[in-house]
Amino acid sequence: MQSMTSLNKITDFRRPVAINLANRTATSACDDCAARHHGLCEALSDEEVGFLFRAAQRQTLPAGTVFIEEGEAAAYFYNVNSGNVRLFKSLPDGRRQITGFAGPGHFLGLAATEKNVFSAESMEPVRLCRFSRAALLSMFAEYPILERKLLDVAMHELVLGQQQMLLLGRKTAIERIASFLLSWAERQDVCSSGALPKPHSSLTLPLSRTDLADYLGLTIETVSRSLSTLKREGLIEIPNIHEVVLLRPQALSDIAEAAV
């Protein structure tokens, strides 16, 4: 049991690292950051965060800004401080596949080679910390825990990616919508990982129907129709366009997982 160490907990095996005296200005700036205790930064001490802070450039972007462009040289990594971001790939004729969303604390840029293999666009006003590749690489040498944490992050994204492949390759429209609602509930901490949300849990969807369609590999019409079906059958309520109430999570789960 004890030996069954979670692989997503490899950060538990922290090596001792040299601690330098971070300047207080830096640290306290991070104190106010919504991402201070999420994602990458949560694994770091105040001193380490201070070091990271000094290596970062801060950016504030209005909604709808594409700040990572597929095919461009991949010069930077990003950490989201506030706001939500959509990640996507496009085909020349305009077809788009959203591969994921990044909110506060999420680290961007792991799926990259020399060129970015995806684009990123702010869905709302967004604040970011930006790191050059060189800066991040040099930080690895100083703070090995970063590397370890990034491996955790990458592993988690691999898990999500595989789930999404099953969804896109093999699930029906209704199953995709049900799966999405439950995974979004988990993301919003409405329920603990793996558990079902309580009946009548309410979700906020900062995404448009178009985003939803491009994420689930459907059209907006099919998304709309599937949501209507779930509503008609009493599994969800849609008080307004950006809100969904999960009336019967178990029934949603049965659909999402194609329970027999």
Partner DNA sequence: GCGCCTCCATGACGCAGGTCAAACCGCCCT
Partner DNA sequence: AGGGCGGTTTGACCTGCGTCATGGAGGCGC
Binding site for a copy of itself (CB under 8 A): 3-8, 10, 13, 15, 73-75, 89, 91-93, 95-97, 99, 109-114, 117-118, 132-134, 137, 140-141, 144, 147-148, 150-151, 154-159, 161-166, 168-171, 214, 216-217, 257-260
Indicate which of a copy of itself, DNA, none lies near residue 38 (CB less than 5 to 8 Å, by partner kind).
none
Residue 150 contacts residue 44 (beta carbons within 8 Å): no
Minimum CB distance to a copy of itself, residue 151 (Å): 5
In angstroms, the CA 33 to CA 104 distance is 9
SS3 category, 101: strand
Q: Which helix (H) or strand (E) holds 152?
A: helix 144-170
Indicate which of DNA, a copy of itself, none lies near residue 61 (CB less than 5 to 8 Å, by partner kind).
none
| Strand partners of residue 73 | 115
In angstroms, the CA 77 to CA 235 distance is 40
Closest CB to DNA among residues 25, 210: 210
Listed ranges 80-88, 141-149, 151-159, 167-175: which one lies at the site for DNA (CB under 7 A):
167-175
In angstroms, the CA 216 to CA 225 distance is 14
Tell me which residues in 225-244 interact with DNA (CB under 7 A): 225, 227-228, 238, 240-241
Centroid of chain to Cα 204: 15
Tell me which residues in 114-153 interact with DNA (CB under 7 A): none
